[in-house]
Amino acid sequence: MGMERRGLVAYVEAQIERDIALGRLHPSGQFGSEAKLARRYEVCRGTIREALRRLAARGLVVQRPGRKTRAVPLDESLTLENLGLALHDASNPDARWLLEGYFSLKRQVLVELLADCCARASDLDLDRLGSTCYQLQDAARWESGEVCAWAEFELLRHAARVAARPGHVLLVQSLQRAFLGGAAQLLPLMGGEALR
């Protein structure tokens, strides 16, 4: 698949994902035929087929032979990695609730990891953790929300490694992907004052 086609598939995938998030589908969640979708998004059927295949791999749509592709209800398909899907409509109270849940989870993970890693940390590890904490404090005071977020994820990753919790390393990666996926919606809420 050429670079141009991959970019087009990714674009169509993002557009369909947005339509799912904003409830622009038939109430049954079913999509029209590939030909109809191709006309709607002004691409060929192969591009539609690949975009739907990628959405199915992410658990956002269900494809069964002989049946129309349908979207999975948002409450069943939502994961940290596709949290941005629920944040397309910021006026939706559920989006605010999920966003608060995201920040609460991140806070709980940070507190748990820091408590555990401080109990296990060597002097060298404590120095590195302290240095990362000071970087985070400086970022919160002087930098943008994005810089604050990167410093916080660096602290989480380091704490998970020191605490020897591989499951938490994976959770931190998922939290960071969720942040990147919804960065436009999350960044205004990640300012220094809120982080402090």
- C-alpha pair distances (Å), 65 with each of 13, 23, 31, 177: 20, 24, 14, 32
Nearest to 171 by CA among 116, 117, 102, 78: 102
Please report, in angstroms and rounded to a whole number, the separation of the first and last CA atoms in the chain: 47
At 3 the pLDDT is 41
- 140 and 102 part of one domain: yes
Same domain, 111 and 155: yes
Number of domains comprising the chain: 2
Q: Are residue 103 and residue 187 in the same domain, yes or no? A: yes
| CATH code: domain of residue 72 | 1.10.10.10
Residues 60 and 107 in one domain: no
Give the chain's residues under pLDDT 70. 1-6, 22, 26-27, 73-79, 81-82, 85-92, 183-196
Q: According to the model, what pLDDT value does residue 85 have?
A: 66
- Whole domain around residue 30: which residue ranges? 8-76
- Which of 76, 96, 122 terminates a domain? The answer is 76
Looking at the domain assignment, is residue 3 inside a domain? no
62 Cβ contact list (under 8 Å, min separation 6): 56, 69, 70, 71, 72
- Give a three-class secondary structure readout of 38-55: HHHHCCCHHHHHHHHHHH
168 and 113 share one domain: yes
CA 103, 105, 109, 111 dihedral sign is positive
Neighbours of 126 (CB within 10 A): 13
pLDDT for position 194: 55
Residue-level pLDDT at 187 = 61
Q: Tell whether 51 is covered by a domain.
A: yes
Q: Which of 71, 189, 169, 75 is nearest to 117 (CA)?
A: 169
What are phi and psi for residue 40, nearest 5 degrees? -60, -45
| pLDDT of res. 97 | 76
**Residue 193 confidence (pLDDT):** 55
Q: pLDDT for 13-39, tens place per residue?
A: 888 887 877 677 766 777 888 888 889
